């Protein structure tokens, strides 16, 4: 019964689309049954369900949520998609905290983006909180995973962390979302500083070179502070005003 969910989803599409009202039947009970039938079959066959069946059933709930206007039913699709992703990752032997955080963080971001109760202006801070929690969860877990893994895996996850942070920064700029920009920037800086520290620890003579360069930079900043202060204040005021309008 590995494909029971997919078969049930196909039948449920027919149950939703058939012209029950012209046939003299009430339409809503059949549509409600269509919403329950696939997830029920997946639950009953959970020990043997195929990944493809999970994906097809997830796609059904995305379609059903759009067609019926019941957006929260798409959460079932998100849950099934997460299940499929974790199944595949586990079978490949790649499962770790980073994958778990990506799945959980992505789900929270999806809820923050589409949940009807979170789309009002009064819910702006709740959206910001959820986005911050999800983005921080993914970013901190990526930083942690890069530290606990060894060899090429650690390097790969470090590069992935850097790519994630850059992706968050660009998403924040394009979508005008503060949480993505702030946490993406912090993660990027922490990753670069950590790499720099590791590099210096292997080549200690660079510590002196870096110290001299930083000292010269601080001297230059101090020498030009008065000349640059107005420019800095203008930039800070501009971004403060701009960020207040962001999500």
pLDDT of residue 143: 94
Could you give the CA distance from residue 198 to residue 176 in angstroms, rounded to a whole number? 34
Q: What is the pLDDT of residue 132?
A: 95
Q: What pLDDT shows up at residue 139?
A: 96
Domain identity same for 187 and 238? no
68 lies in the same domain as 121: no
Listed in sequence order, the DSSP H helices in the chain are 4-17, 27-44, 51-68, 74-91, 97-114, 124-148, 151-175, 178-202, 205-223, 225-244
Q: What is the pLDDT of residue 126?
A: 93
One domain, residues 86 and 120: no
Provide φ and ψ at 119, rounded to 5°.
-95, -5
Per-residue pLDDT of the chain in tens (247 residues, 90 and over written 9): 789 999 999 999 999 999 888 888 989 999 999 999 999 999 999 999 999 999 999 999 999 999 999 999 999 999 999 999 999 999 998 899 999 999 999 999 999 999 999 988 889 899 999 999 999 999 999 999 998 887 778 888 989 999 999 999 999 988 889 899 999 999 999 998 888 888 777 766 666 676 777 777 777 766 666 566 666 666 657 666 766 677 7
Q: Tokens for 3?
A: 């494909």
Do both 8 and 69 map to the same domain?
Answer: yes
Say what the pLDDT of residue 10 is. 95
Note whether 197 and 112 are same-domain residues.
yes
Q: Quick one: 71 and 110 in the same domain?
A: no
Same domain, 119 and 159: yes
Predicted pLDDT at 34: 94
Q: Is 96 exposed, middle or buried (0-12, 13-18, 19+ CB in 10 A)?
A: middle
Distance CA 210, CA 46 (A): 57
pLDDT for 239? 64
- 198 with 103, same domain: the answer is yes
pLDDT at position 218 is 73
What does the pLDDT read at residue 217?
78
Domain that holds residue 29: 1-95
Q: Show which of 50, 77, 95 is a domain's final residue.
A: 95
Measure the CA–CA gap between 134 and 106, rounded to whole angstroms.
7
The pLDDT value recorded for residue 155 is 84
Are 149 and 227 in the same domain?
no
229 and 175 in a common domain: no
Same domain for 197 and 115, yes or no, is yes
| Tally of domains within the chain | 3
Choose one of 66, 95, 124: the last residue of a domain. 95
Q: Kindly report the pTM of this predicted structure.
A: 0.86
CA 124 to CA 35: how far, in whole Å? 31
* Judgement on whether residues 128 and 216 belong to the same structural domain of the protein: no
Q: Angle, nearest 10°, between helix axes 51-68 and 4-17?
A: 20
């Amino acid at each position: 019964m590995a494909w029971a969910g997919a078969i049930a989803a196909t039948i449920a599409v027919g149950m939703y689309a058939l012209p029950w009202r012209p046939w003299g039947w009430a339409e809503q009970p059949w549509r409600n049954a269509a919403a329950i039938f696939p997830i029920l079959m997946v639950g009953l066959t959970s020990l043997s369900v195929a990944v493809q069946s999970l994906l097809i059933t997830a796609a059904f709930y995305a379609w059903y949520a759009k067609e019926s206007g019941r957006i929260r039913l798409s959460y079932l699709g998100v849950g099934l998609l997460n299940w499929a992703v974790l199944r595949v990752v586990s079978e490949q032997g790649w499962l770790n905290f980073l994958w778990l955080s990506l799945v959980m963080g992505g789900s929270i971001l999806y809820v923050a983006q589409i949940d009807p109760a979170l789309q009002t202006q009064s819910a702006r801070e709740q959206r910001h909180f959820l986005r911050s929690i999800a983005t921080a969860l993914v970013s901190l877990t990526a930083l942690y995973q890069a530290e606990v893994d060894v060899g090429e895996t650690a390097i790969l996850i470090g590069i992935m962390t850097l790519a994630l942070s850059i992706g968050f920064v660009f998403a924040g700029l394009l979508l005008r979302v503060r949480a993505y920009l702030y946490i993406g920037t912090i993660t990027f800086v922490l990753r670069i500083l950590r790499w720099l520290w590791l590099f210096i620890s292997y080549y200690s003579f660079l510590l002196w070179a870096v110290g001299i360069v930083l000292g010269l930079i601080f001297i230059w900043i101090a020498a030009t502070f008065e000349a640059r202060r107005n420019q800095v204040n203008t930039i800070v005021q501009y971004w403060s005003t701009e960020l207040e309008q962001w999500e």
